[in-house]
């Protein structure tokens, strides 16, 4: 097949696909989403919202706006994703939160909630690492979470995702509300609650570059718990956890902070969406996440602690089922062809995102129907030029037939036949030929017809004309006797 034929075929297929989808658009419009994604980004001391803002530009290229809700986090986020009328499409949530709802440490109520939320939520990937920071009073000999039994512990607010993860770790070590004081408060950046004796320990789950963590690491008379003796046990027991090592002097060389290597537990924050979110929006959101990873440096330009190039974002999620669109995107590294090509074009033309979603959702199905049809369309497309030429030539051939019939009539007529009728016929044919309208590239054939008409006209002009004879020459000679007696022969 030639390149020109291939291009015409692709153009024809694309045209048919577009026509079919535009025809169905009024019927499917109610099923297509508006170009907007609403994300809950509360928590992370503003880090979640800051990261989510970087997705805005990439989404806008495809006609999608991003709306952020920094007041919503943790438990409230998961509840909103189960509520079809909440208006929330997704959000960033602490790693380990969903895992805390299952296993033998979880209550029966929590396990039931886990099953409901597992069905309602899908992951778009893990975004950033968040160590679990356990700060204690400097005068307390606390070496493990077990040593917190009977102590006053700040576990974070009820709404935060940190609290649920902290409570699970404490329960695993035999620490609960019956033998200890669990306080639903956050530790401030000056560690005032620890310094005043209001609390003995505090558990936080935050990125290492946040202002609060950086200040707490420099506060005197408080200690950061080292998990090194049992770090491997934690990571094997809780799949959402990993361990990281903060090396001596990793924060400051003078004074030396920390004064020795400290092993911390860590988890990774996840971006989750409702399971019924439109597939094209999931694709675009995942693409925005991949194209805009968290910065490896903090606001001051220093490298972020524990950062590893290429580690995040990640499609490996130990708690939530990864959305099918996200799974494909993490493997292929690029958006599906239809969204990649049609999305930016529609946005430049000012068309609504619903058209992009329509093509993305139903375009493949339409192509699957169209491919068998192409087996019939391709032969027809080859015949179309021939049919067009035949339709134009048919108008010329009709008068060629009339011209040929006139010539045959002339051939069968004796020489003494009057040529007036022939002349009238040729003029009728010529007048009809002059009224024929043909495309420019068929003009030569029209002029050939008129030249042939003129050729027959010249032949008619040379046709022998009948000669008129006097009446006397038409009568036979009369004898003298016939003249004398007046008799005339009968005719």
pLDDT for position 381: 75
Residue 262 counted as domain residue: yes
Same domain, 122 and 191: yes
Q: If pLDDT is split at 50, 70 and 90, which confidence band does 31 have?
A: low
8 A C-beta contact, residue 319 and residue 168: no
Same domain, 416 and 324: no
Residue 347 counted as domain residue: yes
Asked if the model's pLDDT at residue 116 lies above 90, the reply is: no
Same domain, 293 and 167: yes
Q: What is the DSSP letter of 302?
A: P
Q: What residues pair up with 362 in beta bridges, in sequence order?
A: none
Tens-place pLDDT, residues 205-238: 999 999 999 999 999 999 999 999 999 999 999 9
- Tokens 């003796």 map to which residue? 229
Choose the final residue of a domain: 300, 326, 351. Answer: 351
- Tokens 């309208």 map to which residue? 437
Tens-place pLDDT, residues 264-288: 999 999 999 999 999 999 999 999 9
Residue 60 counted as domain residue: yes
* Six-digit token string for 259: 């004064």
Same domain, 199 and 323: yes
* Six-digit token string for 135: 């700060």
pLDDT for position 422: 83
* Six-digit token string for 253: 């060389």
Q: What is the DSSP letter of 410?
A: H
Q: If pLDDT is split at 50, 70 and 90, which confidence band does 473 have?
A: very low
Same domain, 451 and 332: no
Residue 91 counted as domain residue: yes
CA-closest candidate to residue 458, choices 479, 434, 430, 484: 430
Residue 70 counted as domain residue: yes
Same domain, 297 and 432: no
Residue 202 counted as domain residue: yes
**Following DSSP, what letter does each residue of 149-189 receive, concatenated?**
TTSEEE---TTSHHHHHHHHHHHHTT--TTTSEEE--PPPT
pLDDT for position 484: 46
Same domain, 166 and 236: yes
* Cis bond upstream, residue 3 (ω within 30): no
Q: What is the largest CA-CA distance in the chain?
A: 178
Q: How many CB atoms lie within 10 A of CB 299?
A: 9
Strand, helix or coil at 148? helix
CA-closest candidate to residue 271, choices 284, 260, 285, 257: 285
Strand, helix or coil at 123? strand
Q: Which domain holds residue 442?
A: 394-461
Of all residues in the chain, what percent carry a pLDDT higher than 70?
Answer: 83
Weakest-pLDDT range from 60-74, 155-169, 180-194, 384-398: 384-398
pLDDT for position 472: 45
Residue 118 counted as domain residue: yes
Backbone angles phi, psi at 171, to 5 degrees: -60, -40
CATH number of the domain at 71, please: 3.40.190.10
CA-closest candidate to residue 336, choices 367, 359, 354: 359
Q: How many CB atoms lie within 10 A of CB 190?
A: 12
- What predicted TM-score, i.e. pTM, was given to this entire model? 0.71
* Six-digit token string for 146: 């077990």
Round to the nearest angstrom and report the end-to-end CA distance of the chain: 82
Choose the final residue of a domain: 351, 377, 411. Answer: 351
Mark 124-144 as b/e (b = at least 16 C-beta within 10 Å).
bbbbbbbbbbbbbbeeeebee
Same domain, 126 and 186: yes
Q: If pLDDT is split at 50, 70 and 90, which confidence band does 385 have?
A: confident
Total number of domains in the chain:
2
Residue 478 counted as domain residue: no
* Six-digit token string for 320: 């939530």
CA-closest candidate to residue 281, choices 67, 46, 16: 67
C-alpha span between 133 and 208 (Å, rounded): 9
The Cβ-side half-sphere exposure at 175, using a 13 Å CA radius, reads 23
Same domain, 276 and 425: no
Backbone angles phi, psi at 160, to 5 degrees: -75, 155
Choose the final residue of a domain: 351, 382, 406. Answer: 351
Average pLDDT, integer, range 59-70: 96
Asked if the model's pLDDT at residue 21 lies above 60, the reply is: no
Same domain, 276 and 413: no
**How far is Cα of residue 152 from the mean position of the Cα atoms in its chain?**
51
């Amino acid at each position: 097949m030639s390149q020109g034929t291939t291009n015409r075929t692709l153009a024809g297929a694309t045209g048919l696909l577009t026509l079919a989808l535009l025809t169905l658009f009024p019927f499917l419009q109610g099923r297509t989403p508006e170009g907007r994604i609403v994300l809950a980004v509360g928590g992370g001391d503003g880090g979640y919202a800051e990261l989510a803002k970087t997705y805005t530009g990439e989404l806008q290229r495809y006609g999608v706006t991003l709306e952020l809700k920094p007041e919503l986090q943790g438990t409230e986020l998961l509840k909103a994703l189960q509520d079809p009328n909440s208006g929330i499409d997704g959000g960033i949530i602490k790693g380990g939160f969903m895992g805390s709802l299952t296993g033998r440490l979880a209550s029966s109520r929590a396990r039931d909630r886990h099953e409901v939320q597992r069905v309602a939520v899908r992951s778009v990937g893990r975004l950033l690492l968040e160590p679990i920071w356990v700060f204690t009073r400097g005068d307390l000999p606390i070496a493990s979470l077990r040593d917190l039994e009977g102590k006053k512990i700040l576990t974070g607010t009820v709404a935060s995702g940190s609290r649920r993860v902290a409570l699970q770790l404490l329960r695993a070590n035999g620490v609960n509300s019956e033998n200890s004081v669990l306080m639903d408060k956050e530790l401030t950046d000056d560690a005032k609650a620890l310094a005043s004796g209001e609390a003995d320990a505090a558990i936080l789950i935050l990125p290492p570059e946040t202002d609060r963590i950086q200040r707490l690491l420099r506060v005197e008379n408080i200690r950061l718990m080292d998990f090194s003796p049992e770090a491997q046990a934690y990571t094997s027991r809780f799949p959402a956890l990993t361990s990281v090592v903060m090396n001596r002097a990793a924060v400051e060389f003078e004074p030396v902070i920390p004064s020795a290597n400290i092993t911390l537990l860590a988890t990774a924050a996840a971006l989750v969406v409702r399971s019924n979110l439109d597939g094209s929006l999931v694709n675009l959101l995942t693409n925005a996440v991949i194209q805009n990873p968290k910065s490896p440096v903090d606001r001051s330009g220093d490298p972020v602690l524990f950062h590893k190039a290429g580690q995040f974002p990640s499609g490996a999620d130990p708690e939530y089922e990864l959305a099918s669109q996200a799974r494909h995107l993490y493997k292929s590294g690029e958006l599906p062809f239809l969204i990649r090509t049609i999305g930016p074009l529609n946005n430049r033309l000012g068309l609504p995102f619903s058209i992009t979603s329509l093509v993305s959702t139903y375009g493949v199905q339409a192509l699957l129907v169209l491919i068998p049809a192409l087996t019939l369309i391709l032969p027809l497309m080859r015949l179309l030029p021939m049919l067009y030429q035949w339709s134009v030539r048919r108008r010329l051939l009709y008068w060629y037939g009339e011209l040929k019939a006139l010539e045959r009539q002339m051939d069968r007529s004796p020489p003494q036949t009057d040529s007036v009728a022939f002349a009238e016929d040729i003029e009728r044919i010529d007048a009809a030929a002059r009224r024929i309208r043909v495309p420019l590239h068929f003009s030569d054939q029209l002029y050939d017809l008129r030249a042939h008409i003129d050729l027959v006209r010249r032949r008619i002009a040379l046709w022998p004309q009948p000669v008129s004879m006097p009446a006397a020459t038409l009568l036979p000679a009369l004898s003298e006797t016939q003249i004398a007696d007046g008799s005339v022969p009968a005719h």
